[in-house]
Structure 1
Amino acid sequence: MTGWDITPSGVASILSLVGLAADDLSKDIKGYGESMVDAGRFVGTISGPYCGVPVGPVGVAVADFASDTQGSIRFMAARTKKTMDGTVKATTEYVGGDVEMAAQAQREAAKAPTPEELAAVGKEPGGKGGKQSG
């Protein structure tokens, strides 16, 4: 594979850092959700209760904002997971390909020489006969 130089230990190191960042992001998202609930609850109202819960225009706006951003937050989490899983799979396939190519090269090297390979022994590159000793 020309042009590729993947070090599995390097990939693992980076994925470890991404995992730590994803954990932090998860905590931030949880805090964001809690903050949205608190904001909606404590903004105050200028209208009467609706279904037993005080509702005001700012509370409705906060709830709408939380609802509108929920898809983006889920997408971000899913994209992070998919990217990490894909990186692991790609690296595994790369390493597996290297192992398979090495095994194939060993199998080829262990085979008996072909008639063409035998005939090529002692010939100079370009097809001319080699020097004979004696």
Structure 2
Amino acid sequence: MALKGWDIEPHGVADVLGKVTHQVAGGEGLAGEARRFGNNVKGAAEATQSKIITHALGEFFNDYSRTLLGMGAKTFSCVTGASKATKAYLLADREMAEQAQQSAIHAPAPRIKAVGQ
């Protein structure tokens, strides 16, 4: 029994959530890009002949890695919240659906710094 006033297609939601999860966790998605980023920074640090540049690359990598992890955490929080809201919708529990929908936004937003900050 669907909730009155809601128009959700659970199979469509599941399909989209699966695609989002794959884009974040899959080898071609955010996780894969993060691994390649790490390998590239490591390669650059190993290739340089300057301790100062190696140190700066290490600091940059550590700082940017936190941003990437935050992006993944926020995405998975949203996927989990959307999944819970859809399950509640299927159970025709409006209050539970609304609470699950709201919980999707509680993960902290990733802090993306501008270059030079």
Aligned to 1:97, the other structure's residue is in SS state: coil
Secondary structure of 2:58's counterpart equals helix
Letter in 1 for 2:21: G
Q: Distance between the aligned counterparts of 1:43 and 1:87, measured in 2? A: 46
Give, in angstroms, the shift of residue 2 of structure 1.
Answer: 4.4
The structure showing larger relative contact order (alpha-carbon pairs under 8 Å, at least 6 residues apart) is 2
Once the two structures are superposed, residues 4-40 of structure 1 have per-residue CA deviations (whole angstroms, 9 ceiling, x without a partner) of: 2111011011112212211121111111111111111
CA distance in 2, matches of 1:8, 1:64: 44
What is the letter of the counterpart of residue 69 of structure 2? R
Larger radius of gyration: 1
C-alpha distance in 1, partners of 2:31/2:65?
Answer: 13
Letter in structure 1 aligned against 2:54: G
Kindly report which structure 2 residues correspond to 1:85-100, keeping only aligned pairs within 5 A, or say none: 85-97=80-92
AA aligned to 1:12 is A
**Helix, strand or coil at the partner of 2:8:** coil
Task: For 1:43 and 1:83, locate their aligned partners in 2 and report how far apart those are by CA, in whole Å.
Answer: 40
Within 2, Cα distance between the matches of 1:95 and 1:2?
12
Partner SS, residue 7 of structure 2: coil
2:22 to 9, 12, 20: 20
| Deviation sequence 1:103-128 (CA, Å, 0-9, x none) | xxxxxxxxxxxxxxxxxxxxxxxxxx
**Could you tell me the percent identity over the aligned residues?**
28
TM-score (norm 2): 0.68
Alpha-carbon deviation of 1:3?
3.6
Point out where structure 2 has 5 or more consecutive residues left out of the alignment: 94-117
Structure 2 counterparts to residues 1-134 of structure 1, below 5 A: 1-22=3-24, 23=26, 24-45=29-50, 56-97=51-92
Aligned length: 88
Moved over 3 A (4+): none
Deviations 1:41-81 (A, max 9, x none): 11222xxxxxxxxxx22111111111111211111111111
TM-score normalised over the length of structure 1: 0.60
